[in-house]
Structure 1
């Protein structure tokens, strides 16, 4: 499930929404030759959830709101969003929809290369985290 410092009153709901976002992301990238750099914020919950009303409302259920419906505990909100962003990245890499490439040495076209960043790619498209490491049909 979700591992956050703040206990969520609706963890199942938030988890379900995150899974939907990940599935939508995969569907939009399926089969594409796209490498997503984790350190470069190519996979980022803040961007993915921007203007996502269902997600925003689910998060608000975990906080006290002011008279305008805004979260009062901004620091608590930021901490939760940071925790959820970490979980969002982990869910991508464990979903089975994306291949995860950790930093390390890879052999691409007979050449040894080192990749210092973590990457994700739609499952089955790449065999290493380099643009010319595409799996051939």
Structure 2
């Protein structure tokens, strides 16, 4: 009897499928985990954090914020997690298209973060000013 290589091909295909499914599962969990950011405004700073992951996070002292406003954010691959905007004019944490909070800093730079209710953060900032 002659040996055939068909079982080896089947095992390779199954292994490749398992690896692809695992990668898709990890990517799906990561996307689910990144779907939310929290913004905390207190008397000293504005803090942007992820509620599940330990980092990255950003804090901006209130004395460095000139103005805070509500804008419409558009998710792009280069605007996730503190990556510089094209041209280097600001920073963003826009993880989905929709309402966003824009911080105009005293340095002339801007920081945009997508949140569910940016109006609440703007009201808190105005009360503290």
Under a length normalisation based on structure 2, what TM-score does the superposition of the two structures give?
A: 0.29
Higher relative contact order (CA 8 A, sep 6+): 1
TM-score (norm 1): 0.28
Q: Greater share of strand residues, 1 or 2?
A: 2
Structure with greater helix percent: 1
